[in-house]
């Protein structure tokens, strides 16, 4: 059964209030076995379409993942993209910017990592950090060496949203399809996952004391996400607000969106370089 993902897509112009978007929905699978079967079918179909994407060589696909800590970005990428050929897929995680990156505009470091035509690019966090983390932590903005007129601009976030929209429109026009996922996890579920990390020695490394400082800013982050998603979900590059309290549900929704996006591309395999007569001659030579 095909999953209807339209209910998770933010329409262009919609004003998002995250409290109106559920972090948990009715399971999209009947059992653990059913979940595994559906996800496997999605992965197999994506693998076939990725081969076609590579051969057609006219489009690229960029998947952007944003979320609060412990929402499941890493595991979603791992499970959903497990069947994709590594040669045709690139994953980038963006942490604290380097000194070199701070000497460029805020889109520079991610623009360098955009996928080539024929490939799938995955951004685990992205240029959206510049209107999320930086907005919540204004001291970061002060350290970005911006010219005075930009640093003191009261409309800086609106200007950055516009820059992002313009970039994504430009990429769309040039063949890159962009899909953005916000994994929407509840504060209660985040607490459970933090505790699970503390209880499992193999996962202790995933937890940092700084995570609690960010958790204390939950309200500020929710407001930043609401403003960001409202301003940048477009027909060309939509946001999907994915309920993430149930990781199985989240993975099925994401895989369905990726699959549908690839299916919507007008792709075909290139014509063979050899004529039918040449193929016959080659086949004869190889068989002899």
Residue at 175 is within a domain: yes
pTM of the model: 0.94
Residue at 107 is within a domain: yes
Domain, as residue range, for 196:
6-287
Task: With beta carbons less than 8 A apart as the criterion, state whether 223 and 136 touch.
Answer: no
Residue at 124 is within a domain: yes
Q: What is the pLDDT of residues 30-82, one digit of tens each?
A: 999 999 999 999 999 999 999 999 999 999 999 999 999 999 999 999 999 98
Q: Which CATH number do you get for residue 217?
A: 3.40.50.300
Residue at 106 is within a domain: yes
Residue at 1 is within a domain: no
Q: What is the pLDDT of residues 172-225, one digit of tens each?
A: 999 999 999 999 999 999 999 999 999 888 888 888 888 899 999 999 999 999
Residue at 61 is within a domain: yes
Structural domain count of the chain: 1
Residue at 96 is within a domain: yes
């Amino acid at each position: 059964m095909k999953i209807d993902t339209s209910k998770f897509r933010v329409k262009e112009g919609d004003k998002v209030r995250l409290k109106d978007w559920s972090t948990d929905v009715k399971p999209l699978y009947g059992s653990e076995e059913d979940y595994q079967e559906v996800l496997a079918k999605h992965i197999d179909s994506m693998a076939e379409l990725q081969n076609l994407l590579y051969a057609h060589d006219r489009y690229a696909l960029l998947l952007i993942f944003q979320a609060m800590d412990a929402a499941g970005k890493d595991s979603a990428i791992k499970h959903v993209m497990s069947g994709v050929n590594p040669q045709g897929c690139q994953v980038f995680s963006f942490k604290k910017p380097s000194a070199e990156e701070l000497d460029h505009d805020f889109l520079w470091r991610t623009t360098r990592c955009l996928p080539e035509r024929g490939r799938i690019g995955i951004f685990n966090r992205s240029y959206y950090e510049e209107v999320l983390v930086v907005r919540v932590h204004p001291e970061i903005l002060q350290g970005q060496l911006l010219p005075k007129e930009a640093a003191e601009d009261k409309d800086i976030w609106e200007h950055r949203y516009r820059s992002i929209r313009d970039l994504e429109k430009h990429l769309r026009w040039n063949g890159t399809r962009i899909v953005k996922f916000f994994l929407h996890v509840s504060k209660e579920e985040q607490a459970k996952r933090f505790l699970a990390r503390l209880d499992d020695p193999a996962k202790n490394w995933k937890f940092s004391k700084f995570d609690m400082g960010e958790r204390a800013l939950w309200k500020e982050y929710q407001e930043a996400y609401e403003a960001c998603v409202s301003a940048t979900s477009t027909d060309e590059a939509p946001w999907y607000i994915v309920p993430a309290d149930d990781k199985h549900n989240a993975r099925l929704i994401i895989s369905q969106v990726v699959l549908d996006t690839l299916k919507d591309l007008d792709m075909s395999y290139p014509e063979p370089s050899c004529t039918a007569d040449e193929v016959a001659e080659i086949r004869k030579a190889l068989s002899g």
